[in-house]
Amino acid sequence: MFTKWKWLAAFFVVAIVMLLVRLEDQDVLDTSVRQVVMTSADLTYLAELGQEWFHQKETTIMVSSDISQAELLTFTDAQAWREGFLLKYDVGLPIYAGQGGLIVYTGHTKYTGKTMTISYDDGTMVSYGKLDRIEQLPYTRIYQRDLIGMKEAGQLYISIEKDGVHYTLEQIVQWLESANIHEN
C-alpha cells in the first residue's frame, strides 16, 4: 500500500531534482545535475521501487504493422551541435524505442527544447531533443517498439553516449541502422 509518507518522500525527491535541474539550466550550478541523475545506478532502483509501490504490471500490446527506426535515417542535413547532432527532416515522424530501457529524463532544456533521455539496457544513453511531443513519462520502463515521441518536420537533436564517449555522426547512423525494428 502506498502510504501518505511514501507519497511525501517521493514528492520531495522529485521536487529537489527539478529545482537542481532548473538551477543548472540557469547556469547557477556548475555541476551537471542531469548527468548525475541520469547515470546513477540508483535510478533503476527508484524506478523499480515506484513500480512496486503502484503495483504496475507489464502488459504487451500486439502491433499489426511494421514499426521501424529507418525513418530516422531519412534526414536531409546534419549539423554537429553540443554533444550530438541536429538532424533535419522534411516530414514528421514517430520515434520508437530501439530496445528496452528506462526513461531517465523528460522535460524542456534551453538548448534542446522538449527532450527525452533513455538509458537503454545495453548501456547506451540516447537523448532526443527538439521533440514536438513526448509520449512517455520519466522513470518509465520502455520496451522495443514503444512509441516514445513525435517529431514534426524540422530539426531533431540526437546524442548517443556509451561508456562516457559520445558517438560521431557515422556511429549514430550505424546505431540507427542496427536499431531498425521490424515485426516478425
| Residue 141 predicted with pLDDT over 90 | yes
**Length of the chain counted residue by residue:** 184
Structural domain contains residue 183: no
CA separation for the pair 142, 118 (Å, rounded): 9
Give the model's pLDDT for residue 35: 60
Asked if 77 and 140 sit in the same domain, the reply is yes
pTM above threshold 0.85: no
Structural domain contains residue 60: no
Give yes or no for a contact between 84 and 166, defined as CB atoms under 8 angstroms apart: yes
Asked if 46 and 128 sit in the same domain, the reply is no
Give yes or no for a contact between 115 and 108, defined as CB atoms under 8 angstroms apart: yes
Give the model's pLDDT for residue 120: 94
Alpha-carbon torsion (160, 72, 116, 2), positive or negative: negative
Express each pLDDT in 89-118 by its tens digit.
Answer: 999 999 999 889 999 999 999 999 999 999
Asked if 30 and 76 sit in the same domain, the reply is no
| Residue 179 predicted with pLDDT over 90 | no
CA separation for the pair 123, 140 (Å, rounded): 16
Provide the domain count of the chain: 2
Residue 127 sits in a domain of what CATH number? 2.70.70.10
| Residue 52 predicted with pLDDT over 70 | no
CA separation for the pair 155, 110 (Å, rounded): 15
31: containing domain: 4-54
| Residue 22 neighbours by CB distance under 10 Å | 13
Asked if 25 and 74 sit in the same domain, the reply is no
Give yes or no for a contact between 144 and 98, defined as CB atoms under 8 angstroms apart: yes
Asked if 102 and 48 sit in the same domain, the reply is no
